[in-house]
């Protein structure tokens, strides 16, 4: 069960191998993802300062039936469909990327996303924006690393159909744990993970 989950297989594939229903396989996978070992991959929040390289990524998440109350405030950032892949929104930036996240007088390095001007303004920071593909400066090379991480993340998550809003953190924890242990084979990974599940 753990080995197949680490390979990123679907619930249907897991159920086939462990001879149970897809629903039971899905619940068991969530149990693995909620283990203390995966939970401990989450970094404790700390305010960012100094030179900060920033880039956004978007993943499909299912919101269908999650917000039954039509006045639920969380709806303001959703589109009218069941999946949300919108670009950054001004209101979200104002609420989330502020002085609680980034200390004043920091240097923010980003691509050409216009809303990063707002980030710099409300954190009283300096913005260095460039097209990373055309700028060979060492200051921007970490942005390329961020892009590779984003691609790796999306490639891992694409195997999970119907990525639920409530369970996204579990999938992110699994991805991060796998990334940290990428030198191990699935068999070795499952042995390491087994003891804390």
142 domain-assigned: yes
C-alpha to C-alpha distances, 63 to 55, 85, 88, 152, 165, nearest whole angstrom: 24, 11, 18, 23, 6
16 domain-assigned: no
Kindly give the parts of the chain with pLDDT less than 70: 62-87, 132-136, 138-139, 195-197
- Alpha carbon 126 to its chain centroid, in Å, reads 26
108 domain-assigned: yes
In the chain, how many domains are there? 1
72 domain-assigned: yes
136 domain-assigned: yes
Note the pLDDT of residue 82. Answer: 42
Q: Where are the beta strands (DSSP E) in 3-124?
A: 51-53, 107-110
Note the pLDDT of residue 16. Answer: 92
134 domain-assigned: yes
For residue 108, count CB atoms less than 10 angstroms from its CB and return exposed for 0-12, middle for 13-18, buried for 19 or more.
buried
Mean pLDDT, the chain, whole residue set: 81
Whole-number Å distance between alpha carbons of 128 and 153: 26
For residue 153, give its domain range: 34-194
- The residues, ordered by sequence, that sit 6+ positions from 10 with a Cβ below 8 Å of its Cβ are 159, 160, 161
Note the pLDDT of residue 81. Answer: 45
* Token pair belonging to 173: 């924890």
172 domain-assigned: yes
68 domain-assigned: yes
Note the pLDDT of residue 138. Answer: 66
Note the pLDDT of residue 164. Answer: 76
């Amino acid at each position: 069960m753990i080995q197949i989950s680490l390979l990123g297989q679907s619930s249907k594939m897991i159920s086939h191998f462990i001879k149970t229903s897809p629903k039971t396989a899905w619940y068991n996978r969530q149990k693995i993802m909620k283990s203390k070992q995966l939970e401990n991959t989450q970094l404790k929040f700390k305010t960012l300062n100094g030179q900060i390289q920033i880039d956004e990524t978007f993943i499909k998440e299912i919101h269908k039936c999650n917000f039954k109350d039509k006045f639920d405030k969380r709806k303001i950032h959703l589109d009218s469909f069941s999946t949300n892949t919108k670009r950054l929104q001004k209101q979200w930036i104002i609420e989330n990327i502020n002085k609680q996240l980034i200390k004043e007088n920091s240097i923010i390095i980003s691509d050409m996303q216009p809303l990063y001007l707002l980030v710099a303004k409300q954190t009283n920071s300096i913005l260095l924006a460039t097209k990373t593909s055309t700028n060979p400066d060492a200051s921007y090379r970490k942005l390329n690393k961020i892009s590779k991480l984003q691609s790796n993340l999306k490639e891992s998550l694409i195997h999970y159909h119907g990525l639920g809003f409530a369970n996204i953190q579990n999938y992110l924890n699994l991805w991060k744990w796998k990334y940290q242990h990428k030198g191990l084979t699935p068999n070795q990974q499952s042995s390491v993970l087994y003891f804390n599940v």
